[in-house]
Chains A and B, each alone.
Chain A
Amino acid sequence: MRHLLYSLIGLALSSFLLTGCGTTSAPTESSTNTTDKTVNATTDTTSSSTPGKSSSTARAEQFTRVNFASVQADIAVGSGEHLAALAVLLDVPPENEERFFSLARERYAVLYATPETDAGLMLARLNYAMAADPELGR
């Protein structure tokens, strides 16, 4: 009994011990793997933060995949920081951004036609819609 109590209290305490500032406890899907499993600077920078290193489409797909919930929520309402970032990745000029937001909201039901829709499929549908749009398709 006594040793069981000692063990339980010790276990509870040890789980709270300092984590310091350099790690994060949240297990996250990351496009760059920069939080709790650090990899070297070159690998990181050339993999995701370097626009010139991968195609625009690939970067848009990676961004959408990793931030899937936020991007979908923004598309549902036709505004938001993640949707604005997606516009940049899809090379939408600043002057066409409002139209892009409207189009995304209007086509929400098509873009996310099934719960199984993944980032690649959603972007393919979005690109198709943009190409057919008189303003964005120019």
Chain B
Amino acid sequence: MTAVFQDCRLRGLSLFFVLLPGLLCSASLCCAGETDGYQRDLQERARNLQLWQNPMWRALLHMGRSSADESRIDSPKFFLSPEGSHNPAAEGGLTLNSFFQPVEPGREGEHPQCLYPARYSWLNEQLSFDSDLLPEQSCSDLRQWLEAMDPDGITMVFPESYLNNPASMFGHTLLRVEQKNGRSPLLAPSINFAAVTDEKPGIGYALKGLFGGYPGRFSIGLYADQVRAYGALENRDIYEYHLGLSAEETRFLLLHVRELQRATFDYFFIDENCSYQLLALLEVGRPSLDVINKMPFAAVPVDTIRLLTAVPGMLQGVHYRPSRRTVLQGRTVKFSRVQKKIVRSFAVQGQPADRILWNSWNSAEQAEILDAASDLFLYDQAVAIGKNDARAPVFQHLLALRNRLNVDPSPDDFSSPVRPDQGHGTGRAAVGLGSDDGIFFVELGLRPVLHDLMDPGPGYVNGAGIDFLSLRLRYYPEQDQLKVQSVDLLNIVSLAQVDQLVRPISWTARIGLDQMRYAGAGDRLTGRAMAGFGLSMEITDVVSGYGLLTGELLANDRFEDGLNTILGTVAGLRSGLDWWNCIFQARAGYAFFYRDQWLWSLDFIQALDIATDFSLRLRVTREQEFSGPTTETVFSLLWYF
């Protein structure tokens, strides 16, 4: 009340000097009455204008557009009203009243106008506050912060997965604030939403993540940190989508980020994740986007990019930022085997493997080798210890040599591959016809996300696949029988190729259910959990081979204790073009605890892409499980959506 009182006192200054001090009391009551009246007036106008049902007000509270939707913010302290999370009118009423609070000396920044600057800005715009009756606080910290932010626009940043890390194949999104006077994108602020946890990935981590066990928060940092973390250490290519938000919209969005410092959100990996929350933030900047309502069940980061780029005028341009590994590959793609050998020897020992040859090269050739060797050193170091330590003697030696050459680096000219948002849809439905040892069947398949090795490749990381909640149903007309053929809770394959320079591990992991054939018992749905490690390498320009050692756990009541173990191996050849993929794969394993026996299978799969979101697939399998050998053929049409 102090501020209001002071303001009134100023307006009545002449009276103050004329009238007796005893009248001061009645004067303040008069002003307080005027203020109370103004508060009531604002509340009434807000109700008449239906501000509390306005999409912007709901967006500021992170509520869906339906009146039944509650806020996604889960920290009570964000709300002024105890009912604020589900009653926008109650929160609105208290918000208006709070703006009249007096300022506590020394705690100006904690005034509600400063704590809720986006609410204040929007309500002021709607209700045109009378600054005599509702004085505007200066909020100097906020103004200084906003000046430093210098907002001019927004870029949505999508670090895609790293080939040998498909557990993050869903990717990630964050925002970068474009600055009016910004000369370096590395120094621009970035807005990130992440779960707050120190736990390492594992079963507990995954379950807590799936069911909202972690709080998620917005944070603002330096974009250079994101480039280093994703591009240099995790080796993920980064796509920067410059969006059509204006400077004013960006400024308002930042005001809202500022007020979200009091907010935490239960973090759900599948739906209410980083990408979902960033869309909600963008809707605050521009409510007419209305993209949250168009979100499918799972907020796959690339789908949120697709939603945004589909808005007319929203996509202003895309910048591709290759990862360190991509830069290394680009620099060495034309190198001979001998050149690559010398790059590796420099990266490992700081010396050329063949000094005579090295000395025969000119400075420009030596500079290219040393640039690649520095990249390789940092790549190896990041893979080994998860960070870059420049003080390593080999690195110091390489840079000193490179500096003495006094040669400008070759320009890095990386053209963007097909963008992730231009790849096939993340959902997939399939219908197929087939023969199971001569018995005809019809097969239906559905997979919400994301990509397997036989799906169309453009826009996705080559050699990496992740299927989540994939289901196949089969109907056998002759037997009038419908059954679940397989369920993939999670199926990950990463066939990262080794070459002369990098030696990543290939690996696979799967948890799911399959129909398995048992002698005398027919097909039975069997739980399977499998993991495997190995290597993959290029054989020709279009053919690669791979081999993995695998361990598998089976669960079915046919086994003693209900469990069985298979140790085995899988090997195959892959080939593919942008529109065609082919795999020939052999698998063999020994089952230990049930009819100790060998299981094996041979698979031949071809896929032909007939349109951006349609492909045909033929699969022929000869296999032996816990019965005699069988042959199966399936021909399917797949639709990506």
Residues of A near any B CB (own CB < 8 A): 2, 5-6, 8-10, 12-42, 44-46, 48-53, 63, 66-70, 72-73, 75-82, 84-85, 88-89, 94, 105, 108-109, 112, 115-116
CA–CA, A73 and B201, complex, Å: 33
Contact A30 B402 (CB under 8 A): no
Contact B222 A48 (CB under 8 A): yes
Task: Assess whether B186 is interfacial by the CB under 8 Å rule.
Answer: yes
Q: In angstroms, how far is the closest chain B Cβ from the Cβ of A45?
A: 4
Contact A18 B563 (CB under 8 A): no
Query: Per a CB cutoff under 8 Å, which of B226, B406, B529, B593 touches A34?
Result: B226
**Complex contacts, A112 vs chain B, CB 8 Å:** 396, 399-400
Residues of B near any A CB (own CB < 8 A): 141, 144-145, 147-149, 165, 167-168, 170-173, 183-187, 189-190, 192-198, 201-203, 205-206, 209-210, 216-222, 224-226, 228-230, 232-234, 257-258, 260-261, 267, 269-270, 273-275, 301, 367, 371, 374, 378, 382, 386-391, 393, 395-396, 399-400, 402-403, 406-409, 468, 490, 492, 507, 509, 511, 529-531, 551-553, 561, 563, 565, 567, 592-593
Contact A2 B565 (CB under 8 A): yes
Query: Per a CB cutoff under 8 Å, which of A5, A28, A72 touches B399?
Result: A72
Q: In angstroms, how far is the closest chain B Cβ from the Cβ of A119?
A: 10
26 residue pairs A–B, Cβ–Cβ below 8 Å: A2-B565, A5-B565, A9-B553, A14-B203, A14-B206, A17-B203, A20-B209, A20-B270, A20-B274, A22-B216, A24-B168, A27-B387, A28-B386, A28-B387, A32-B221, A34-B219, A35-B229, A36-B198, A38-B194, A38-B217, A48-B222, A49-B220, A53-B144, A63-B224, A76-B402, A108-B403
Query: Per a CB cutoff under 8 Å, which of B141, B221, B222, B269 touches A21?
Result: B269
Contact A24 B490 (CB under 8 A): no
Query: Per a CB cutoff under 8 Å, which of A22, A31, A48, A115 touches B274?
Result: A22
CA–CA, A115 and B451, complex, Å: 46
**Complex contacts, B171 vs chain A, CB 8 Å:** 21
Q: Quick one: given A26-B229, A36-B194, are A19 and B168 in contact (CB under 8 Å)?
A: yes
Q: B392 — nearest CB in chain A belongs to which residue?
A: A115
**Complex contacts, B147 vs chain A, CB 8 Å:** 52
CA–CA, A21 and B228, complex, Å: 17
**Complex contacts, A40 vs chain B, CB 8 Å:** 217, 219, 261
Q: A46 — nearest CB in chain B belongs to which residue?
A: B145
Query: Per a CB cutoff under 8 Å, which of A45, A72, A78, A85 touches B220?
Result: A45
Contact A115 B565 (CB under 8 A): no
Q: In angstroms, how far is the closest chain A Cβ from the Cβ of B489?
A: 10
CA–CA, A36 and B258, complex, Å: 20
Query: Per a CB cutoff under 8 Å, which of B219, B222, B507 touches A38?
Result: B219
Q: In angstroms, how far is the closest chain A Cβ from the Cβ of B393?
A: 7
Q: Which of A34, A42, A67, A70 has the most B CB atoms < 10 Å from its CB?
A: A34
Contact B592 A30 (CB under 8 A): no
Q: B299 — nearest CB in chain A belongs to which residue?
A: A21
Q: Quick one: given A85-B186, A105-B403, are A41 and B220 in contact (CB under 8 Å)?
A: yes
**3 nearest A-B residue pairs (beta carbon):** A32-B221, A20-B269, A34-B221
Q: In angstroms, how far is the closest chain B Cβ from the Cβ of A106?
A: 9
Contact A16 B216 (CB under 8 A): no
Contact A10 B196 (CB under 8 A): no
Q: In angstroms, how far is the closest chain A Cβ from the Cβ of B385?
A: 9
Q: Which of B170, B233, B592 has the most A CB atoms < 10 Å from its CB?
A: B233
Q: Which of B228, B490, B492, B592 has the most A CB atoms < 10 Å from its CB?
A: B228
**Complex contacts, B267 vs chain A, CB 8 Å:** 20, 22
Q: Quick one: given A17-B203, A115-B396, are A79 and B409 in contact (CB under 8 Å)?
A: yes
